[in-house]
Structure 1
Amino acid sequence: MIGLTSLKGKQFYLNPDLIYRIDETPDTVITLTDSKTLVVLETATAVIALIIAYRQKIFSGRELLERDNERNEE
């Protein structure tokens, strides 16, 4: 999940697999695969960077390692 900020300043998390397209109009508008739209404070470039970082984390297996480390610390 990637962390984003709504126009009202509320933070929320979005599964990037649900993103169909991102437009700047000049607000950043994210259209989801179900045609719903979200307007966020982040720029399209920032959203793309978050998606790339998320995918790198997933594909590198770091998320599993971090979860295991958190469990071991408890």
Structure 2
Amino acid sequence: MIELVGLNGRTFFLNADLILKIEETPDTIITLVDDRNIIVKNKAVEIKELIIEYRRKILADSQNLDSINKEG
């Protein structure tokens, strides 16, 4: 999950796997796979970086588990 800031200034977490697209109009609009839209204060480039970081962490965690399982 990635941490975002809504228009009301409150932070929330969003499952990055549910994101279909991100647009700036100038507000940043996230369209989810079920066609719902969320408007956030974060810029599209920042959200993209959060998604990349989130997926890198998942990959690293999975590789760590693989190495632990091979040792044990």
Give the Å deviation of 1:15.
Answer: 0.4
Corresponding residue number in structure 1 for 2:29: 29
Aligned length: 64
Corresponding residue number in structure 1 for 2:11: 11
Corresponding residue number in structure 2 for 1:61: 61
Give the Å deviation of 1:32.
Answer: 0.2
Q: Please give the alpha-carbon distance, in whole angstroms, between the structure 2 residues aligned to 1:56 and 1:9.
A: 27
Corresponding residue number in structure 2 for 1:46: 46
Compute the RMSD of aligned alpha carbons: 1.5
Question: What's the TM-score once normalised by structure 2's chain length?
Answer: 0.84
Higher Cα Rg, which structure: 2
Give the Å deviation of 1:52.
Answer: 0.3
Percent identity between matched residues is: 48
Give the Å deviation of 1:38.
Answer: 0.3
5+ residue gaps, structure 2:
66-72
Give the Å deviation of 1:9.
Answer: 0.4
5+ residue gaps, structure 1:
66-74
What SS does the corresponding residue of 1:7 show, helix, strand or coil? coil
Question: What's the TM-score once normalised by structure 1's chain length?
Answer: 0.82
What amino acid maps onto 1:12 in structure 2?
A: F
Give the Å deviation of 1:31.
Answer: 0.2
